[in-house]
Structure 1
Amino acid sequence: MNYVLLALLFALLIGIIAGLRAMTPLAVLAWGAMLGWINLADAPHGAWSSWLGNTIAVVVLSILAVGELITDQLPKTPSRKVPAQFGARLVIGALAGAVIGTPFGHIFSAIGAGMIGAVLGTMGGAQVRGALAAKFGKDLPAALIEDAVAIIGGFVVVYLAGASLT
């Protein structure tokens, strides 16, 4: 198996999730580490990311992710494309990319892939959500579909990343 390509693929995909919902990638990585889906403790480049599997990290990141899902529905929530929101997605995409790339032994290339994924998820997610909202005549159904894609997609990415290492 080519671990470079796998690391880049999974980092890109987790970055896309960051573009959809900024806090979801770290939360699903934490859950995946805690459930044993992905081994962050015995990674080739050290265990710098093993803290994500800690119960406290799982709880805190899950609360932040749920909080984001709630605040996303508020009418005064700014667009994901404003600099602060966009920047947060890039940083989290990079961090999540590094975390998911660590077990493959490719942290730094995964950082770039995570950032590219965050750009794709941010811009593409906004476009798709806008189109769905126009089709439904309101934003809530589109937002809920995007929430489901981010959460389910994030868990699938983390599970498959871990499974590809065994």
Structure 2
Amino acid sequence: MALAVLSWIMAIPLLGFVTGLRTMMPMAVLCWFAWLGYLPVDGTWAFWVAKLPTAVIFTVLAVGENIADKLPKMVDRVSPGPLAARLIVAGLIGAIVAAGLNGSGFEGVFLAVTCALAGAFCGFLLRRELVRQYSFKDWYVAVAEDIFTVGCAILAMGVITG
């Protein structure tokens, strides 16, 4: 019971938040947890995330996103296109986790999308200020953000799967 409550009040919002930082990494982590059998999505509409090709595809997309993020001409995450992608993927993650927990899909989507919006803007503003005010190199901040995203996604999925 306590893990179920933690999943809804901490883990799903955390997955949404880090989706605001990196669109594909939380989805890749979720797919690996589902493929390993920790997130029970068999028999639900979200069965496809537990397939090996799905996990591999999202991992390749996540790696590509992490590489592209370090390029100087990359568009800001709060621009309309990237922001919309983050919100869509966050909603999908929230719905998948809710399906795996036999919970309300609407609540999962709402929590994840709301927190993805916060994550996108918080990450954008924090990274910008660390680079401008404190003269940190953007590449170092981006790598720290990558590590934070992976760690938080694994933590959240660990809470969700018990």
RMSD, matched Cα: 1.6
For 1:127, give the aligned amino acid: L
Deviation at 1:7, TM superposition (A): 2.7
1:139 corresponds to which residue? 138
| 8 Å CA contact retained: 2:12, 2:156 | no
Deviation at 1:59, TM superposition (A): 0.7
Give TM-score, length-normalised by structure 1.
0.89
Q: Cα 1:6–1:136, aligned 2, differ >3 Å: closer, same or farther?
A: same
For 1:25, give the aligned amino acid: P
Partners of 1:136 and 1:31 lie apart in 2 by: 37
In structure 2, the gaps of 5 or more residues are: none
2:52 corresponds to which residue? 55
1:122 corresponds to which residue? 120
1:70 corresponds to which residue? 67
Deviation at 1:6, TM superposition (A): 3.1
For 1:53, give the aligned amino acid: A
Partners of 2:5 and 2:99 lie apart in 1 by: 11
Per-residue deviation, residues 40-67 of structure 1 (Å, max 9, x unmatched): 22xxxx5111211111001111000000
Deviation at 1:121, TM superposition (A): 0.6
Matched residue SS, 1:37: coil
For 1:23, give the aligned amino acid: M
| 8 Å CA contact retained: 2:10, 2:156 | no
2:34 corresponds to which residue? 33
Give TM-score, length-normalised by structure 2.
0.91
Deviation at 1:36, TM superposition (A): 2.4
For 1:35, give the aligned amino acid: L
| 8 Å CA contact retained: 2:87, 2:116 | yes
Deviation at 1:131, TM superposition (A): 2.7
Q: How many residues align?
A: 159
Structure 1 residue ranges, 4+ long, deviating more than 6 angstroms after superposition: none
Q: Tell me if 1:94 matches 2:95.
A: no
Partners of 1:98 and 1:132 lie apart in 2 by: 34
Partners of 1:116 and 1:148 lie apart in 2 by: 22
